[in-house]
Structure 1
Amino acid sequence: MGGNPYNPACAYPFLSDDAPLTEAYQSMSFANGKGNQLRGTVCGRGNATLDGYTQPDRITTPLKRAGARGEGKWKPISWDQLIQEVTEGGKLFAEIGEDREIEGFKAVHDTETPMNAEQPSLGPISNQLVMLGSRSDGRGNFSSRFSGSFGTINAYGHSSS
């Protein structure tokens, strides 16, 4: 797969906007000697999405760490448990011997209290949430809307990194 055959940044020669899709597909496949030189300005991760989506061993249920960090042990949990733990927090790994309290979204969703009273320019506690990455397949709009309603200014898209 290559870039957009209608875009001059992706193909030479590029197709006019009124060219039919059949011509676009042929220009990308070198069918009947019609192949354009595609410049490949497409993200490799984006091109691999379909392959990842169809993998039989892809993860389709939430997984929770079931051992020490880096140990590679995981257990499946329900979506309800995931939502409960992410929003409420708590001693989420007590069953494996960790005594650490983990803040949930509810504790971090505070747009009034300064994160650090001595450095008010850091903003409110809600700025502790950082949204990293997104693609333009709908996730970017979701994460942007979520971070804005959550009260954090720390939202960075795929092209920001």
Structure 2
Amino acid sequence: MTDIKKPNQADDSLAAAPRMTLSRRTILKSSALLGGCAVLMNHIDGAYNLLHAMESGAAGAGEYPLAKATSVIYSACLQCHTACPIKVKILNGVAVKIDGNPYSENLIPNINYDTALAKAAKIDAGLCPKGQAGIQSLYDPYRVVKVLKRKGPRGSNKWEVIAFDKAIAEIVNGGELFKSIGENRRVPGLKELFALKDAKASADMAKDAKEVAGGKMKVEEFKSKYNAHLDTLIDPDHPDFGPKNNQFVGMWGRIEHGRIEFGKRFMNGGFGSNNIIEHTTICEQSHHIAYKEATNQYKEGKWSGGLTHMKPDSFNAECIVYFGTGFVEANFGPPAMCPKVTEGISAGRLKVIVVDPRMSKSASRAWKWLPVKPTTDAALALAMIQWI
């Protein structure tokens, strides 16, 4: 596997390097490489020589370093929640270009799985600009790649780097972790918060706590029933608070499926805390709730069963309405969506309607563009419902 290195600052001596005169043809021919050179920095001499060889024609097509199987790492994009398969191109240990994985079946069209890696290295699948900007995320100078511990009052923005093992020890064991900066208080560790370890008792107490909250069981009755476990509760007089385990909150931002399930299994099933805050709360909540409330069915005295996601069948649809979004420059996964819609429009099978106050890229390709005034979206939706 190729290791990805973090580039260092460019050598000051490069300032004295002679300037090249590039033709328009050469710029177009070398644009991908130049994009990588902006990141390489300490490998710029080698990249300069390669560029010179390409410009003079001395380097053949087979010598292009990014077209070698050994210069490619296949991975998944995490720039949005679609997680498109990608191929990362490496030059001198530095990621210089990201494209779509040509093997991927959701990036249309795709190559056969039995295609040799050497051949696949020369074939790129599509990827949106957000995905290609993954290099910026990887080499962002503000990206946190080490454990930081507060070294001053809250809000002072003072930090120190500590070893990973030390961070684990402090988080697990707790203690007077900020004594060195004048805070004479004890911070509880995870060992202390991991108070209720009996899975059956935890499930029974949670069930009866709901009975207390609903007025079907008295607090004193609850305390008598679970007298042996009262010391594990946050507040025995408020059993709905749950055990001290709930004082451990798992909160993460950009996280994809696989890690989400692992995190929930650790927090809920392993540690016994109900408090998990994932990115959906701040990322997809609007359409999750709107879709769910619109598709809920009334059964057995309650509304339930709604869908949080509804995606059009772009391959077979005859008309798609994009309401406040699009298929070209936004939405979940343009690389997977755009080719399907483009094929439908080109074949004359699909008509697209875009509802957007501005003339977007998607609107420019639409059969109908409805430039609604801001705040009138609901009125248009209700009018459509009435007409239907």
TM-score range for the pair, normalised by the shorter chain length = 0.5 to 0.7
CA distance in structure 2 between the partners assigned to 1:47 and 1:147 by the alignment: 33
Counterpart pick for 1:20 among 72, 86, 109? 109
CA distance in structure 1 between the partners assigned to 2:248 and 2:159 by the alignment: 24
Q: How many pairs does the alignment contain?
A: 135
Query: How do residues 1-161 of structure 1 correspond to structure 2 at under 5 angstroms?
Result: 19-21=108-110, 25=126, 50-111=135-196, 112=229, 113-134=232-253, 135-136=255-256, 138-148=258-268, 149-161=270-282
CA gap of 1:151–1:100, structure 2 versus 1, over 3 A, is same
Could you tell me which amino acid in structure 2 is paired with residue 114 of structure 1?
A: L
Query: 2:385 matched to which residue of 1?
Result: none
Deviation of residue 78 (structure 1)?
Answer: 0.6
Q: Which moved more, 1:51-60 or 1:145-154?
A: 51-60
3-state secondary structure, aligned to 1:84: helix
Is there any run of 5+ residues in structure 2 with no aligned partner, and where?
A: 1-78, 83-104, 111-122, 197-228, 283-388
Structure-1-length-normalised TM-score:
0.68
CA distance in structure 2 between the partners assigned to 1:70 and 1:2 by the alignment: 30
Query: 1:12 matched to which residue of 2?
Result: none
User: What is the aligned-residue RMSD (CA, Å)?
Assistant: 3.3
Query: 2:205 matched to which residue of 1?
Result: none
Is there any run of 5+ residues in structure 1 with no aligned partner, and where?
A: 5-15, 30-43
CA gap of 1:142–1:53, structure 2 versus 1, over 3 A, is farther
Deviation of residue 51 (structure 1)?
Answer: 2.3
Q: Choose between structure 1 and 2: higher helix proportion.
A: 2
Could you tell me which amino acid in structure 2 is paired with residue 120 of structure 1?
A: P
Structure-2-length-normalised TM-score:
0.31
Higher relative contact order (CA 8 A, sep 6+): 1
Deviation of residue 53 (structure 1)?
Answer: 2.0
Could you tell me which amino acid in structure 2 is paired with residue 25 of structure 1?
A: G
3-state secondary structure, aligned to 2:126: helix
CA distance in structure 1 between the partners assigned to 2:146 and 2:187 by the alignment: 22
Deviation of residue 155 (structure 1)?
Answer: 1.6
Query: 2:100 matched to which residue of 1?
Result: none
Structure 1 outlier segments of 4+, above 4 Å: 1-4, 46-50
CA distance in structure 2 between the partners assigned to 1:51 and 1:125 by the alignment: 41
CA gap of 1:116–1:18, structure 2 versus 1, over 3 A, is closer
Q: 1:107-154 deviations in whole A, cap 9, x for unaligned?
A: 111125111111012111101112223521543123212202100111
Q: Which moved more, 1:101-110 or 1:135-144?
A: 135-144
Q: Percent identity?
A: 33
Deviation of residue 23 (structure 1)?
Answer: 9.5
CA distance in structure 2 between the partners assigned to 1:140 and 1:152 by the alignment: 15
CA gap of 1:56–1:118, structure 2 versus 1, over 3 A, is same
Report the structure number with the largest CA radius of gyration. Answer: 2
CA distance in structure 2 between the partners assigned to 1:120 and 1:94 by the alignment: 34
Deviation of residue 48 (structure 1)?
Answer: 6.2
CA gap of 1:3–1:142, structure 2 versus 1, over 3 A, is closer
Deviation of residue 106 (structure 1)?
Answer: 0.7
CA distance in structure 1 between the partners assigned to 2:272 and 2:183 by the alignment: 30
3-state secondary structure, aligned to 1:63: strand
